[in-house]
């Protein structure tokens, strides 16, 4: 996968986890940029990425 393909998959994971199809994710996005991003959501993101990328 190219970097852009990986990043697009990451965007999909964020949009799914936060249930927001309009969510804009860029390289500089961090937890302060997304209101609902708390410690539990952080764990959910990690788990979703591990599953998607087979880690």
Give the tens place of pLDDT for each residue, 1-55: 899 999 999 999 999 999 999 999 999 999 999 999 999 999 999 999 999 999 8
Q: What is the DSSP string of 4-48?
A: HHHHHHHHHHHHHHTT-TT----TT--GGGSTT--HHHHHHHHHH
- Number of domains into which the chain is organized: 1
Stated pTM of the model = 0.85
Instruction: Give me the pLDDT at residue 34, please.
Output: 93
For residue 1, what pLDDT is reported?
85
SS3 54: coil
C-alpha–C-alpha distance, residues 22 and 3, integer Å: 21
Q: Containing domain of residue 43, as a range?
A: 3-53
Burial of 14 (0-12, 13-18, 19+ CB in 10 A): buried
CATH number for position 27:
1.10.1200.10
């Amino acid at each position: 996968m190219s970097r852009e393909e990986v990043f697009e998959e990451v965007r999909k994971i964020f949009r799914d986890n936060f249930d927001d199809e309009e969510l804009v994710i860029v390289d500089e996005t961090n937890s302060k940029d997304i209101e609902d991003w708390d410690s539990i959501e952080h764990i959910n993101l990690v788990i979703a990425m591990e599953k998607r990328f087979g880690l």
